[in-house]
Structure 1
């Protein structure tokens, strides 16, 4: 009788041990799977287009903080703001205790980035983009850093197709293309305008326009004579958040009253286009939308 009791007890013990082992194995497996799916739960995104990509990949829930240029989609503005992407402080960035920083190329200042890179966390720089392929590289780089390469591949395919269609639809004969001057600022009546090699230049060309200034690269303050020689048909500027039509009217009067612009073809027809800065210059997942929007504004077509 005692042998049967002992045998029964041993069987129960073995079953319990087996169940505990299975539970432990299941727990470890679940933890490993979670780590694989979510290697970084606390992500700091620096750069508006980088943040857009994170959200577009379905990883917005992993964002712990963002920079001041990250304003789309609107829900990201509820996150802590560590400052302007090109004027960061190491203290502000590290205070949010991210485990991963995704930073657009050109974040700064350089000495601040050096300090941040030296901290015990992962720092991934996302390359800048001025072409369709560049945008796809940005998406794949963010996807790889977040451990969601498959989702990035899907998003890349969608963005590539949408952008190719938008650019094809925007094509026009050279003789019909409008000359566009992108004005970054008009402080003190001085025109700071885009030359070549900028996001503004790339978008103007994608949208079927011609950049009116090609004599230099980047953004530069130009003379009144240079503005006159550029002879823009349209002035393109970043929109100011929160302004209404009345304010736009006043802003147009001020713009076209500047001596450098007053005699241009754009001033004669009061042709100015204002677009959201991040949509226009971010070169992220919404660039096809930006191309269609600018093309429609230039030529009165449906976007």
Structure 2
């Protein structure tokens, strides 16, 4: 094949990839990717593209090797300047990532490619997210491997004899205690295990009160591992007004798990639901 024909073929491939929605910066070097989502960072690693991550946010904790990659901060307090300084080819985040619109405008205005992926808190949503990212980065076979593993893990979740009422408490010390309502990632994860949220009637998060605890009367309390540590463990949590008077408190049924695993709704969704189900039962 002549050099001219080779160049023409390369240009044609480049245009086909662009038209298919796949971003390609150059055939000469790998992309530099900044991920502002722990779930997307995990997917990127699963696609075999970890070496192309130029920066990640602080929710990007899995796999552990991500700790060596420069951090751009928490999505709620990220600055455009810190991301731009890493000279990325593409910046990725999900529509569930709470980045200030002004920061998005700055990034877009800088000429950088900024891509938002839709994330839905469901099995179908997790599968679609993995496939969408795989398609965008032209790594469809690797994405399908992750999907197959996710579905295999979900199929192993045991069905409870009777659904239990679970209450997720977000804790940052006893001064900051919130409960998770309907529609949140925790609420959807509870349903995947065959159990249910102990609270209803509101979405998002609300402050925890002794009255709301007694009304909900959960069978199991669920916390991030870091959250439980912040209240001095199970003994400290049981001292919070109202906790000891619930079924969960009386039976000391307190479950703690890694925060990103519980809320990620990505490749490890099946593992998260399976681990939670096993700890509950």
Cα deviation per residue 1:164-200 (whole Å; 9 max; x = unaligned)? x03xx33234xx2221110012644563100100111
Indicate if the aligned counterparts of 1:189 and 1:258 stay in contact, CA closer than 8 A. Answer: no
Indicate if the aligned counterparts of 1:182 and 1:194 stay in contact, CA closer than 8 A. Answer: yes
> Measured at CA, do residues 45 and 186 of structure 1 come closer, stay the same or move farther in structure 2, by a change above 3 Å?
closer
Equivalent positions of 1:1-303 (< 5 A) are: 22=2, 24-25=3-4, 28=7, 39-40=24-25, 41-105=31-95, 106-163=97-154, 165-166=155-156, 169-173=157-161, 176-185=162-171, 187-189=173-175, 191-240=177-226, 250-299=232-281
> Measured at CA, do residues 80 and 29 of structure 1 come closer, stay the same or move farther in structure 2, by a change above 3 Å?
farther
Q: CA deviation at 1:248?
A: 9.2
Q: CA deviation at 1:30?
A: 9.3
Unaligned 5+ runs, structure 2: 26-30
Indicate if the aligned counterparts of 1:104 and 1:126 stay in contact, CA closer than 8 A. Answer: yes
Is 120-129 or 31-40 further displaced after alignment?
Answer: 31-40
Is 223-232 or 136-145 further displaced after alignment?
Answer: 136-145
Tell me the distance in 2 between the aligned counterparts of 1:272 and 1:32: 58
| Structure with the greater alpha carbon radius of gyration | 1
Tell me the distance in 1 between the aligned counterparts of 2:121 and 2:242: 29
Tell me the distance in 2 between the aligned counterparts of 1:262 and 1:162: 34
TM-score (normalised: structure 1): 0.80
Q: CA deviation at 1:86?
A: 2.0
Tell me the distance in 1 between the aligned counterparts of 2:33 and 2:231: 41
Question: What is the Cα-based RMSD across aligned positions, in Å?
Answer: 2.7
Give the structure 2 partner of residue 18 of structure 1: none
Indicate if the aligned counterparts of 1:194 and 1:218 stay in contact, CA closer than 8 A. Answer: yes
Tell me the distance in 2 between the aligned counterparts of 1:53 and 1:75: 14
TM-score (normalised: structure 2): 0.86
Describe the SS at the equivalent of 1:240.
Answer: helix
Tell me the distance in 2 between the aligned counterparts of 1:249 and 1:270: 15
Q: How many residues align?
A: 269
Cα deviation per residue 1:217-259 (whole Å; 9 max; x = unaligned)? 1111132111111111111000129x9xxx6994211100111
Indicate if the aligned counterparts of 2:198 and 2:216 stay in contact, CA closer than 8 A. Answer: yes
Q: CA deviation at 1:154?
A: 4.2
> Measured at CA, do residues 38 and 229 of structure 1 come closer, stay the same or move farther in structure 2, by a change above 3 Å?
closer
Is 194-203 or 57-66 further displaced after alignment?
Answer: 57-66
Indicate if the aligned counterparts of 1:184 and 1:238 stay in contact, CA closer than 8 A. Answer: yes
Tell me the distance in 2 between the aligned counterparts of 1:29 and 1:38: 19
More helix, by proportion:
1
Q: CA deviation at 1:50?
A: 0.4
